[in-house]
Chain A
Amino acid sequence: MNYHWDWGILLSPEPGGTGTYLYYLFIGLGWTLATALAAWVIALSIGSVVGTLRTTPHLWVVRLGNAYVELFRNIPLIVQMFLWFFVVPELLPKGLGDWIKQVPPPWGSYIPAVLCLGLYTSVRVAEQVKAGIQSLSRGQGMAGTALGLTLGQTYRFVLLPMAFRIMLPPLTSEFMNVIKNSSVALTIGLLELTGRARAMQEFSFRVFEAFTAATVIYLMTNLLVVFAMRALEKKVRVPGLISASATAGGH
């Protein structure tokens, strides 16, 4: 192919004057991780609650949980980003909406991106939590009731501690999905890793160096997450179970 590689570009300064292009990309990785981690906190808290509620015997609670899941699962992520960024500030009271629009960059994109990604991922976590709880044998819940525990206590002391340990592998792949999905935030102006690779390509015209560098950084990040989670999985493994490594679909 007729392409002249020039890897030196990574060490030349970027036009913003913050440092080399490589440094510029790593700051992007910082934003990617900051977005993903904050969204993950939201996703894990809401997802655990919704997922748990969907396994309770209360019909209306289950229906409400299902409606929540269907709502966030059937709208593309980028459209949800636009709703949070363009539509929500207009629907709020005028003073608040105007204040939100004044938030300086990068926070003006970071906050809607985190909220959007957090809620989007929460329904996927909710699905995993529900599946995790339902994978436990029915006898466990019954044993809790037989011991005189209330429904809440049964969840707190019997079901959830087991379910979360079983769910760890699918939750790992959801966490990796959050890291990947945070790249959609570039559409509302957040300069995370993919956004910065794209910006670097526009400034320097070095298309493939920029995207190769971003690709390598993503792969290294994935490897780190996988190794860290493997170690955690080993630590919390339930003795006596065949530890199945599940892979979740989607992206």
Chain B
Amino acid sequence: MSGYDFDVIQRSWVYLFRDGMTFTLTLTALAMLGGIFFGTLLAMMRLSKFNLLSLVSGSYVNLMRSLPLVLVIFWFFFLVPYIGAWIIGAKDPVRVGSFLSALITFTMFEAAYYCEIMRAGIQSVARGQVWAGYALGLDYWQTMARIVLPQAFRNMLPVLLTQTIILFQDTSLVYVISATDFLGAASKVANRDYRLVEMYTFVAVVYFVISFGLSTLVRQLQGKIAVIR
């Protein structure tokens, strides 16, 4: 086929990065922070001695891990307006923007995956450390916050970051709720100018460069922070 028009990228890259990539990166960063926060709580619940807490957390994590992300995105896209209405006591579902909806979805979905990582991280800390904490008179929360979790985070940092690269790639699925992330923005330009080949190739190259660069960095980090035992 002749007649590629790579000028379309030159014409639209400001829009692609200023609107699209900003959406993607903000969503990735916030969902990572939220996901790790809730994931850690879920992991603590799952390892708790109270059976009920561990059952609730385990069921939630298994449910999320059994469902396709696309279906979960649809679920939250329609569910969040109802939950919002229930929280503020409104009669009708509230309007929620696609960014907030996507943020809630990815935070809740990724929390299940981060939970499994943090669970492995917490379990990798020697039991004697916990006993030492209790022996010093610390309570559960102090032992967790000052002794167990810092070590768990350090042990699991490369895995947490790898999961974040997966999250970064997964955010492109917000396409299904017509959000303007990097892929969504490119898709809009592609369909407007009928330049699908050029735009989607460009999108693939950009995702590849970022993901490959980040995973190379994670590999280097892995060598650097490995604890010598």
Contacts and interface: CB of A to CB of B under 8 A. Distances in A.
- Looking at chain A's contact residues, the main secondary structure is helix
Interface of B: 1, 63, 65-71, 74-75, 78-79, 82-83, 85-86, 91-93, 113, 116-117, 159, 162-163, 166, 169-170, 172-173, 175-176, 183, 187, 196-197, 200-201, 203-204, 207-208, 211-212, 215
A247 interface: yes
Contacts of B83: 1
Contacts of A134: none
A183 B70 contact: yes
Contact of A181 (B68, B162, B172, B204): B68
A249 B203 contact: no
Interface of A: 1-3, 70-71, 73-80, 82-83, 86-87, 90-91, 94, 97, 176, 179-184, 186-187, 194, 197-198, 201, 207-208, 211, 214-215, 218-219, 222, 247, 249-251
B162 A249 contact: yes
Contacts of A82: 187, 196, 200, 203
Indicate the member of B183, B200, B215 with the most A CB atoms within 10 Å.
B200
B188 to A, nearest CB: 13
Contact of A75 (B159, B170, B208): B208
A249 B156 CA distance: 13
B207 A86 contact: no
Contacts of A70: 212
B68 A180 contact: yes
A251 B82 contact: no
Contacts of A73: 211
Given A180-B67, A250-B166, A79 B197 contact: no
Given A2-B92, A198-B74, A207-B78, A76 B170 contact: yes
Contacts of B166: 249-251
A238 B4 CA distance: 56
B71 A194 contact: yes
Nearest to B187: A82
A251 B86 contact: no
Contacts of A208: 78-79
B113 A87 contact: no
Contacts of B68: 179-184, 194, 218
Contacts of B200: 79, 82-83, 86-87
